[in-house]
Structure 1
Amino acid sequence: MSRRTLVAALVAAAAAGGLSVARRALPAETRGPWERTNHAGASVTLLEGPVYAVAAAAGNLAGGAPAAPGVVAALGSAAFGALDDLAGSSDSKGLKGHLGALARGEVTTGAVKIVGIGATGLVATALADRGRGRGVLATLVGGAAVAGAANLANLLDLRPGRALKVTVLAGVPALLPPGAGGAATAAAAVGAAAGTLPDDLRGRSMLGDTGANAAGAMVGLALVERTGLRGRLVALAVTAGLTVLSERVSFSKVIDDTPVLRRLDRWGRA
């Protein structure tokens, strides 16, 4: 790991840990809108999401230039995720539900989030491609891949630690070789995940749309930063395929029915 990626990971992890402590001291009226009930019926906070996004952005900045793409990916996707967390309705769920509502003339917060994260992915990719001679098509596909990764991470945030574990598993390979494109972005994503994972595993907090979208966008951007059109097309095909599959298949059931995945999914939980 290069010095730059190491700094990005350490700063992100430290920021996530520090902000996780600080959020517990927030007044009740600030914490209230972020309180939810998880799958086990326990009360959890979604403030982990803003903590993750800010920590990832801080790690990206500390990792050195160019930091703008990662900061845009983390904070932009988190902002649109927060809109859905705080003002979203459960009437329309999933990509199919939000697009169906849009077809009926109903603009849901989920639909706004889909468009907003798509725009965020495109801007982040355009910033990453600046001066690198990438074509317009590669940038468009890259932006879609970043948005797809953000959405996919959100689909995985259904059990304690799951989305963060996937962030780490997907982000670590992007750290190599040292100094390669996207390494600092991946390091910031992994570091922020490490800093927020303890409370998530204990069932005290969740990423919510805010944090899951930021985590997925960061990992997606890390891949986009080191690939050309072909690699981006593969990433887009994978994220789009899994998203469509999620409308028909329960990822939780697949994980529970697969011994290796089940053990990994439950590792570390309280």
Structure 2
Amino acid sequence: MYYLTAFLGLLISLYFSKWILNLAKDGGLVVTNYRGEQIPVALGIIIITGILGISLFLHLFNVYLDYKMLFIIFGVFTIGFFDDVLGKGDSKGFKGHFKAFFKGKLTTGFIKAIGVPVLLLFYFTIDNYIFLIDLVFISLLVNVFNFFDLRPGRCQKVFFITNLLILPFSKGITPLYIGILSVTLFTLILDLREKGMLGDAGANLLGVITGFQVLSLQFPYRAIVYFLVLILTLVGEKYSFTKIIEKNRLLNYLDKLGRIKG
């Protein structure tokens, strides 16, 4: 089943990607990238389409699905898509969004900062105070992935590196998860070729999907991940990850690896 969902993920991505990218262009869902080119913000839509198709396939064949998790995934995507469509990008990071809110200005980033934790409440139950820690750090993890969506393929590379490190300790490896990996791999290729961008919707998806893998870890490993998430959040709020990466030879090499243009 794992091989089948991996193949299905690639098939769905290949079949629908051209339509989705053209639809985004025609609908004006484009942004100017770091090189000044207009790129459709549609890779998140390709990922969610793949998740929907694979989930439907698994449902029809009576393979177990975590429907609460799917609800959260689709909800987080929707919040990110809302930000892609209506967000102006004039406030950055948690600090910027909350500062704008207390000055009487509601930003889509603030809605996301509040909306993601509220959505996650549907996944947890109040039988252990630990759920609050999980909720906070998974929300922060979603935000961290947004920090990395500033260069072609960077966010997907962070996703794959993180998930490969988690994989040996994870108990959350499912046919759906494997299918998501194949869809994300396809979007990595499109991103590196500058055919599309993840946007907030796509980065949110990769963040929350990684978050669910983190939740499957035993406590010591989960605590390590949460500590790293906290560090990355604090650094990302104050400094530019792009500048940090560019100053490190290895990170800069990995960051540029596979890009068709510098």
* TM-score interval for Structure 1 and Structure 2 normalised by the shorter chain: 0.7 to 0.9
Structure 1: 5+ residue stretches without partners: none
RMSD of aligned alpha carbons: 2.5
- Quick one: percent identity of the two aligned structures? 27
- Which residue identity is paired with 2:30? E
Other-structure match for 1:93: 92
- Provide the rounded CA distance (Å) in 1 between the counterparts of 2:139 and 2:57: 24
Answer yes or no: is the 8 Å Cα contact 2:144–2:236 preserved in 1.
no
Local SS of the residue matching 1:26: helix
2:114 is aligned with 1:115 = yes
CA distance in 1 between counterparts of 2:230 and 2:96 reads 16
- Secondary structure in structure 1 of the residue aligned to 2:130: helix
* Distance in 1 of aligned mates of 2:172 and 2:181: 12
Gaps of 5+ in 2: none
The 1:99–1:209 alpha-carbon spacing in structure 2 relative to 1, beyond 3 Å, is same
Q: 2:152 & 2:217 partners in 1: Cα distance? A: 30
Correspondence for 1:50? 45
Q: How far did residue 123 of structure 1 move? A: 2.6
Return the letter of the residue paired with 2:102.
Answer: A
Determine helix, strand or coil for the equivalent of 2:7.
Answer: helix
Contact 2:24/2:41 (8 A) holds in 1: no
**Contact map agreement 1:172 1:187 (CA 8 A) in 2:** no
Match of 2:17 in 1: 20
TM-score normalised over the length of structure 1: 0.84
Give the Cα separation in 2 of the matches to 1:82 and 1:53: 11
**Is residue 121–residue 217 contact of structure 1 (8 Å, CA) maintained in 2?**
no
Q: For residue 33 of structure 2, what is the aligned residue in structure 1?
A: 38
Corresponding residue to 2:6 among 9, 29, 37: 9
The C-alpha deviation readout for 1:86-111, integer Å capped at 9, x for no partner, is: 11123322211101112223221111
| CA gap 1:69/1:146 in 2 versus in 1, 3 angstroms | farther
Aligned length: 255
Rate the CA distance shift 1:235–1:267 in 2: closer, same or farther, 3 A.
Answer: same
Matched letter for residue 19 of structure 2: A
| Separation (CA, whole Å) in 2 of partners of 1:57 and 1:73 | 13
Deviations 1:35-75 (A, max 9, x none): 11100011100011111223235445656423324423321
- The answer as to whether partners of 2:245 and 2:251 remain within 8 angstroms in 1 is yes
Determine the C-alpha separation between the residues in 2 that align with 1:83 and 1:21. Answer: 22
Return the offset for 1:165: 0.9
**2:167 and 2:4 mapped to 1: Cα distance?**
12
Mapped partners of 2:20, 2:35: distance in 1: 23
State the partner residue of 1:201: 192
1:236 equivalent to 2:226? Answer yes
Map of 1:112-261 to 2, 5 A cutoff? Answer: 112-124=111-123, 126=124, 135-176=127-168, 181-184=171-174, 186-228=177-219, 230-261=220-251
